[in-house]
Amino acid sequence: MGKVFETMSDELQAFIRKQHLFFVGTAPLLADGHVNLSPKGLDCLRIFSPTQVGYLDLTGSGNETSAHLQENGRITLMFCAFEGAPNIVRLYGIGRTILPESSQWDELSPKFNLYPGARQIILADISRVQTSCGYAVPLMSYIDERDTLLKWAEHQGDDGLATYQKNKNVCSIDDLPTPLAERFTTT
C-alpha cells in the first residue's frame, strides 16, 4: 500500500515522466473558498531535482492555482497510472508563479516547449512524496493530445491573449488576486 518519502526517487521520477495527465490541487485559506483541481496534459511538466518540479501553465478560463499560490503557497500534484501496474503518486509542497517578465522565466522557460498561450510557470518545492495503490483507478488507453487550446491561443494572437488574461485571469473565483493582476495595473 502507500508509502511516504521526502524526495522523488529515480523510480518515481520515471513513473511521473511517463504520465500523459496529472492533476494540480490548491485551495485558499478562506473558510468558504473554493478548492481547485485542474487536469494538465501536453508535455508541460519538468522535474528539476528530487524535490522540485515545474510545469508550463497555459492561458485558460481561470487562474485559480496562481491566486492560491500567491495567497498561501500550498500545492499538491497527483499522477495516476491509467496504463500498466496500478500506482498513484502525490507531491505535496509550496509553489510559486513565475511570469514571463521575471528573471526566473529566462532561466526556466528554455527547459519547456513554449506552447502558444504560455502564461506562466508553476514551480513547486516538494516536501512530501506519497504513493498509494491506485487499485480502483480504471485502465484506459492514451490516444493523443488535444490541440484545441493551442489552436485557440494561436487564433487569439498576443494582443487577444493579453486582453483575455486581463479579463479572465487576474483574480480567482473567490476574488483573490493573481500575479497577473500586477501586470495589468502597471500598464
pLDDT tens, 175-184?
Answer: 999 999 999 8
Flag whether pLDDT at 187 surpasses 70.
Answer: no
Q: Beta-strand (E) ranges in the chain?
A: 3-5, 22-26, 36-40, 45-49, 52-58, 74-80, 88-98, 118-132
Instruction: Give the mean pLDDT of 34-50.
Output: 98
Can you identify the CATH homologous superfamily of domain 3-180? Electron Transport, Fmn-binding Protein; Chain A (2.30.110.10)
- Residues of the chain above pLDDT 70, percent: 98
| pLDDT score at 142 | 96
% of the chain residues with pLDDT over 90: 96
Mean pLDDT across the stretch 4-32? Answer: 97
Confidence of residue 13 (pLDDT cuts 50, 70, 90): very high
Residue 165 pLDDT greater than 90, yes or no: yes
pLDDT band at 15 (very low <50, low <70, confident <90, very high): very high
**3 state SS of 27:** coil
Q: List pLDDT tens digits, range 68-119.
A: 999 999 999 999 999 999 999 999 999 999 999 999 999 999 999 999 999 9
- Continuous segment of H or E residues that includes residue 64: helix 64-71
- Cα–Cα separations (whole angstroms), residue 40 to 37, 103, 184: 10, 25, 26
CA separation, residue 132 to residues 4, 25, 113, 135 (Å): 9, 17, 30, 9
Q: Is the pLDDT of residue 186 over 70?
A: no
C-alpha–C-alpha distance, residues 45 and 26, integer Å: 17
Condensed to tens digits (0 to 9), the pLDDT of residues 106-115 reads 999 999 999 9
Is 140's pLDDT higher than 90? yes
The shares of helix, strand and coil residues in the chain, as percent rounded to the nearest 5, are: 30, 30, 40
Domain locations along the chain? 3-180
Express each pLDDT in 124-134 by its tens digit.
999 999 999 99
pTM over 0.85: yes
